[in-house]
């Protein structure tokens, strides 16, 4: 199996992009990635998108986006794993380059979520839950994650301030990211006293509805050395796993087992352990999700993720910086694009290009992207060469 590098990344500003279509958003980011990589030819492409059919009435994205990018007739494939679709696209591109089938592959993610009403967006997102046993009975994703939060509080004493600390930290990071949807800071009180969505989660515990795209160019190490002028960032490990979708079928409401299993595979492939990871971009669709994920990745003992956030251990200057980009909470969450946006942030940090939020000399970064309430997860570990 060949070694694989990320040689270029591109991401547009995320938010409510009323004046742009799904094809505009994707092509904009793809061209940025191609320019950053300095390539004039790609062999194939993968696009992560959760549900463009429900959001904008457009399926057959693989062909459409290859066409509007001007890359027909290259092979183009759309992949879906709910909110983990972007991470899965990166995994598919990695496999293609590592296998030797292609030398240069574009991987991207895109979602245009604001062309429907709030109810329409809720319906579209709910397709990632168990329709018969959860959605039919009125469960929404805020409700499902609220159940996890309540149980985490009950088992480990996690507090309201601990949940709020995640949002405060991520908004602070997002205020330093010019591509983030929300660049305003908040406070513990501001999060706790926001409109209640599903007890104990307020509006400020929840990631927003977002339009956006992100792309990356993957290449074999040998090819990358020929064409890239950027510092090379190698993908050391990849892990993918699934879990039961319905919460009532799981052994625990406080562990996201797909993340546990995906990270085990990525750590083993990379020859790394949690202590070797300098920073991470994780799937903070809700504040409780970041707390649970940091525990399930092995960064903190189970039940201590909330303490870590409140004590500043996950801040930019903490022992394990988490979501330097602002995360889904502040940067935004265009569901199909999120996993590739995480890759873009890690690459920028490893190349020393993250601006005001730049960490001091990071060497190894991790991304964790998951679908729905954790029914699927993709983990990547990257290292600057």
pTM of the model: 0.98
Name the band, by pLDDT with cuts 50, 70 and 90, for residue 185.
very high
Average pLDDT rounded to a whole number, residues 36-58? 97
Give the per-residue pLDDT at 359. Answer: 98
Tell whether 180 and 317 lie within a shared domain.
yes
Give the per-residue pLDDT at 328. Answer: 98
How many whole angstroms separate alpha carbon 373 and alpha carbon 69?
33
pLDDT tens by residue, 232-263: 999 999 999 999 999 999 999 999 999 999 99
Residue 333 known to be catalytic: yes
Task: Domain count for the chain, please give it.
Answer: 2
- Annotated catalytic residue within 5, 49, 83, 215: 83
Q: Which two tokens stand for residue 50?
A: 């959760």
Give the per-residue pLDDT at 376. Answer: 98
Name the residue range of residue 221's domain: 4-117+210-233
First-residue to last-residue Cα distance in the chain: 18
Nearest one of 208, 161, 221 to 3, comparing CA atoms: 221
Tell whether 167 and 258 lie within a shared domain.
yes
How many whole angstroms separate alpha carbon 202 and alpha carbon 181?
19
Do residues 108 and 48 touch, judged by C-beta distance below 8 A?
yes
Do residues 6 and 382 touch, judged by C-beta distance below 8 A?
yes
Give the per-residue pLDDT at 318. Answer: 98
Q: Token pair 């694989």 is at which residue?
A: 4
Name the band, by pLDDT with cuts 50, 70 and 90, for residue 200.
very high
Tell whether 24 and 143 lie within a shared domain.
no
How many whole angstroms separate alpha carbon 150 and alpha carbon 199?
8
Residue 101: inside a domain: yes
Tell whether 16 and 147 lie within a shared domain.
no
Tell whether 36 and 173 lie within a shared domain.
no
Q: What is the CATH number of the domain that holds 61?
A: 3.40.47.10
Residue 178: inside a domain: yes
Tell whether 162 and 290 lie within a shared domain.
yes
Share of the chain above pLDDT 70, in %: 100
Average pLDDT rounded to a whole number, residues 217-234? 95
- Annotated catalytic residue within 283, 307, 333, 380: 333
Average pLDDT rounded to a whole number, residues 143-155? 98
pLDDT tens by residue, 327-379: 999 999 999 999 999 999 999 999 999 999 999 999 999 999 999 999 999 99
Give the per-residue pLDDT at 307. Answer: 98
Average pLDDT rounded to a whole number, residues 291-319? 98
Residue 43: inside a domain: yes
């Amino acid at each position: 199996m060949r070694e694989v590098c990320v040689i270029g990344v591109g991401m547009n500003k995320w938010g409510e992009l009323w004046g742009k279509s799904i094809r505009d958003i994707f092509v904009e980011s793809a061209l940025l990635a191609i320019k950053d990589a300095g390539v004039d030819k790609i062999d194939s492409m993968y696009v992560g998108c959760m549900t463009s059919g429900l959001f904008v009435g457009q399926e057959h994205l693989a062909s459409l986006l290859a066409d509007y990018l001007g890359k027909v007739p290259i092979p183009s494939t759309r992949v879906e794993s709910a909110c983990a679709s972007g991470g899965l696209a990166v995994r598919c591109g990695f496999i293609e380059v590592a296998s030797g089938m292609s030398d240069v592959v574009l991987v991207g993610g895109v979602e245009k979520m604001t062309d429907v009403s709030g109810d329409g967006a809720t319906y579209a997102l709910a397709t990632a839950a168990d329709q018969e046993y959860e959605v039919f009975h009125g469960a929404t994703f805020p409700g499902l994650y609220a159940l996890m939060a309540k149980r985490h509080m009950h088992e480990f004493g996690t507090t309201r301030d601990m949940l709020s600390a995640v949002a405060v930290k991520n908004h602070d990071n997002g205020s330093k990211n010019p591509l983030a949807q929300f660049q305003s800071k908040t406070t513990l009180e501001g999060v706790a006293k926001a409109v209640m969505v599903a007890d104990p989660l307020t509006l400020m515990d929840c990631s927003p509805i977002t339009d956006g795209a992100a792309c990356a160019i993957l290449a074999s190490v040998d090819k990358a050395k020929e064409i890239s002028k950027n510092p090379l960032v190698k993908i050391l490990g990849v892990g993918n796993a699934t879990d039961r979708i319905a919460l009532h079928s799981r052994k625990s409401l406080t562990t996201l087992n797909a993340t546990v299993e995906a990270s085990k595979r990525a750590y083993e492939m990379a020859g790394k352990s949690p202590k070797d990871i300098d920073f991470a971009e994780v799937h903070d669709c809700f504040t409780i999700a970041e707390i649970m994920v940091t525990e399930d990745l092995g960064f903190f003992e189970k039940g201590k993720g909330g303490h870590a956030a409140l004590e500043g251990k996950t801040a930019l200057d903490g022992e394990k910086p988490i979501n330097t980009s602002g995360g889904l909470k502040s940067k935004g969450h265009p569901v199909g694009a999120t996993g590739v946006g995480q890759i873009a942030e890690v690459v920028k940090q490893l190349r020393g290009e993250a601006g005001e939020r730049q960490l001091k000399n990071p060497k190894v970064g991790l991304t964790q992207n998951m679908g729905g309430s954790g029914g699927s997860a993709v983990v990547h570990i990257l290292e600057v060469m």
